[in-house]
Amino acid sequence: MTTSVTTAGPFDIPLDVPPGADPDRALPADLSDPTRAGAALGALVASGRLDPPPPAAGSTAARWRVLADLAVSDGTLARLAAGHAGAAALLNELGGPVPQRDQRWGVWDVDTPVSPLVAHRGPDGWTLHGARPACSGARVLTHALVAAEITTAEEGETHQLFAVRLDDRGIAVAAGGRASRTMAAGADTATVLFDGAPAVAVGGPVGPSGTSGRFGVAAAAYSERPVFWHAAAGVAACWFGGAIGVARPLFAAGRLDRAGREGRYDHEGWAGRTAGHHGSVSRYGPTGGPAPAGHHWFADRRGRPLDARALAHLGRVDALLMAGRCVLETAAREIDADPDDAGGSARRRALQVRAAIETCATEVIDLVGRALGPGPLCSDRGYARRVADLGFHLRHSHVDHDLEVLANVVLDDLDPFWW
């Protein structure tokens, strides 16, 4: 019997996948090479899997499920996919160019006061100058949406969103800066340098410098729109999927231990059948064929059952994932019910969702590690990479600062204690 987060619903992602569960959806086991990451993302774009329902159009949960499902197996690819889907939504919202099947887009919205990105308008159009740090997919993507400072006689200093081709000779990736051998390598997160790179303005300039709020001045060109906050909430779906990917080996260990005690397989035979599948992302279960990633490690545990503390951690993980699923489904319903944010709750909701799922995913990483110890981190490269990817991705939540902003939003609300 398949163990799932809960009963059927948009986020009913199996924690243990049975035989025959669509093996063609398996993802590459190692995307540490940006070339392979680009090929994998390109294949997803070409296949149409990154054409989910548009945000706030009645199927937001289905849109988020696409991202969560990718993140279960590969956080690197999910992050790149979320960037492409988010860019497509923004371009549609702002009347920009339509992404083509052979293009891989991202959104780079982190700025620095030391070296802000600025745009100049000349006789041949706009050009960008400066640097943009923490750009995911720097060597993987073909196009990106970036925001830059502009100065006009009418409005003074404002910000404008631009579309750029990343193969232009005016764009270069800065050397160094790869602190992580997992996410930073696979998603190729790096500082990108712009030296007169041609750019196409998307939408109109928005907001004076210093009015951008939580996400920094580079986000000002679109952070006032509901679609921005809907997308910010949707990023948490990737975190949720990553948490399921981290949790699966714990559920698998419990199921294998129980099967062993009931005499339904022997560990030696199981270890032999799983040989050759080290680190793979497979979609099969313990009744035959290749096992889900991590099972080969559990096969070598030679019948040592999970103790009471590990089982308690398993129960806690299940409860956390149930809570995370409810948060996402509730938020998706609210977004679909008020797509234009007439109620003014989009920002608060996004911050709530991100904080709740960040807590869920962080606790899952901790509990699974406490239950299983260092074994899978040492022996299962794929599992170790998923743990590292999720931790890296969660740090984009800026959780303490976000919670401070959320507190101020709550206290500014006329009726903050809605429950």
Q: What is the mean pLDDT of the chain?
A: 76
Q: Which pair of structure tokens corresponds to residue 345? A: 């709750």
Residues 6+ apart with CB under 8 A from 399: 354, 355, 358
Helix, strand, coil abundance in the chain, percent, nearest 5:
50, 15, 35
Give the torsion through C-alpha atoms of 374, 376, 382, 386, to 10 deg.
-60
pLDDT at 161: 86
The residues facing 383 across adjacent strands are none
Q: For residue 282, which amino acid is it?
A: S
Note whether 121 and 151 are within 8 A (CB). Answer: no
pLDDT at 222: 60
The residues facing 26 across adjacent strands are none
Mean pLDDT, residues 368-392 taken together: 86
pLDDT at 295: 44
Question: Distance (Å, rounded) from C-alpha 308 to C-alpha 375?
Answer: 18
Q: Report whether pLDDT(375) > 70.
A: yes
Q: Report whether pLDDT(330) > 60.
A: yes
pLDDT at 65: 93
pLDDT at 174: 87
Q: Report whether pLDDT(165) > 70.
A: yes
Q: DSSP assignment of 6-64, as one string?
A: SSSSTT--BSSPPTTS-GGG---S---SHHHHHHHHHHHHHHTTT-PPPTTSS-HHHHH
Query: What single-letter DSSP state applies at residue 218?
Result: G
Q: For residue 20, which amino acid is it?
A: G
Lowest mean pLDDT among 57-61, 201-205, 209-213, 263-267: 209-213
Strands 118-122 and 125-135 come out as antiparallel
Q: Which pair of structure tokens corresponds to residue 222? A: 């679109």
Question: Distance (Å, rounded) from C-alpha 370 to C-alpha 357?
Answer: 20
Q: What are the chain's domains?
A: 105-224 (2.40.110.10), 229-412 (1.20.140)
Given pLDDT bands bounded at 50, 70 and 90, which one contains residue 313? very high
- φ/ψ (deg, to 5) at 161: -90, 135
Q: How far is CA 126 from CA 115, 118, 123, 149, 307, in A?
A: 19, 10, 8, 12, 63
Question: Distance (Å, rounded) from C-alpha 373 to C-alpha 409?
Answer: 40
Q: How far is CA 374 from CA 121, 240, 387, in A?
A: 55, 23, 12
Note whether 131 and 192 are within 8 A (CB). Answer: yes
pLDDT at 323: 96
Helix H or strand E segment including 118:
strand 118-122
Q: How many beta carbons lie within 10 A of that of residue 58, not counting itself?
A: 13
* Coil/strand/helix, residue 121: strand
User: What are 269-304's pLDDT values in tens digits?
Assistant: 433 333 323 222 222 233 333 344 444 444 444 445
Residue 278 CA neighbour count, 13 Å, CB half = 12
pLDDT at 257: 74
User: What are 87-138's pLDDT values in tens digits?
Assistant: 998 888 888 889 999 999 999 875 555 557 899 999 999 999 999 988 888 9
User: What are 172-191's pLDDT values in tens digits?
Assistant: 998 764 444 444 444 578 88
Strands of 136-189, DSSP E: 143-152, 156-165, 171-173
Residues 6+ apart with CB under 8 A from 4: 12, 13, 14, 15
pLDDT at 35: 77
